[in-house]
Structure 1
Amino acid sequence: MISVTEEDFDINAVIEQVKRPDLGALVTFLGTVRADEGVEMMEVEAYREVAVRELETIRDEAFQRFPVAAVWIIHRVGRLRVGEKILLIVVGAGHRHEAFAACEYVLERIKQSVPIWKKEIGDGGERWVPGEASGGGA
């Protein structure tokens, strides 16, 4: 599943959907809005159609590079408060090493190439987060 959405998501529900008897490892990454230098909230914007296509490409790359059976990516957009979820990656594989490696690969590729931008909003005003396309606050 690939999703760019304004809706919150239930981590446990996603994990339950990914779980299968043949998967010995489910690795998750959860990115959240962090209270950094007076940040109170973050506005996350995306070129949605291109972001979904790029996330699908990244998922497909993970399947080609690693022996994994499941890759789910959910990225939120909109105004999010400190502590709210931005990004969820769930990778399922037969063994933990492959699942960890694929999850890290997916995260780094998202940060490099997905057209999603973050603006921090807080007591010091607003500023676009420089230097990476995404990353979910991580």
Structure 2
Amino acid sequence: MSDRKPKNIFITGPISPSFIAESIQKHSTQKAIGGHSIFLGQVRADETEGGVVSAIEYTAFEELAMDNMHVIREDIFAKYPLTCMHVYHSLGSIAAGEICLFVFTSSAHRKAAMDACEETVERLKAELPVWGKEIIAGATHQWKVNK
């Protein structure tokens, strides 16, 4: 494991398109990067027995989630020749249609960036203590988002 410290991956509220665009733009100065892979998780307006989902209220055991994400990050960097990786997850109420997860990997070659991005998303969904409660007009239903 490297000497890197766990990074705070949480953002209160939705992840804005301008934040995503700025993150991409910042990498234009890094001339060794040949490929980026981006995953954007968006809240769906699923139809349930109780009605249509209007939002998801995200909560997390933040300290443990950041520690677990640090382990995932180190594992991914050991497995793939990445230049960088950025992960952001929303907390709070995120409306249907808004972005709640942003994973961004970069490498000299596209395959490493794409494979690392996919594996990162799958691992964080399985290993991070992050939960979501569906908000439905007039009712709520709790479910664990990352399983």
TM-score relative to the length of structure 1: 0.88
Residue 32 (str. 1) matches residue 34 (str. 2): no
Cα RMSD of the aligned pairs, angstroms, is 1.7
- Within the candidate set 86, 99, 102, 1:85 is matched to 99
Q: Is the 8 A contact 1:47 1:116 kept in 2?
A: yes
CA distance in 1, matches of 2:57, 2:77: 31
C-alpha deviation, 1:98, in angstroms: 0.7
CA distance in 1, matches of 2:123, 2:39: 14
Give the direction of change, closer, same or farther, for the CA distance of 1:18–1:52 in structure 2 (3 Å limit). Answer: farther
What count of residue pairs does the alignment treat as equivalent? Answer: 133
- The runs of 5 or more residues in structure 1 that have no matched partner are none
C-alpha deviation, 1:56, in angstroms: 1.6
C-alpha deviation, 1:2, in angstroms: 4.6
CA distance in 2, matches of 1:129, 1:32: 16
Partner of 1:133: 146
Q: Is the 8 A contact 1:4 1:51 kept in 2?
A: no
Give the stretch that moved more between structures: 30-39 or 14-23: 14-23
C-alpha deviation, 1:124, in angstroms: 6.4
- Within the candidate set 2, 17, 30, 2:26 is matched to 17
SS of the residue 2:123 aligns to: helix
CA distance in 2, matches of 1:65, 1:124: 47
Which of structures 1 and 2 has the bigger CA Rg? 2
Aligned positions of 1:94-113 closer than 5 A: 94-113=108-127
Identical aligned pairs, as a percentage? 30
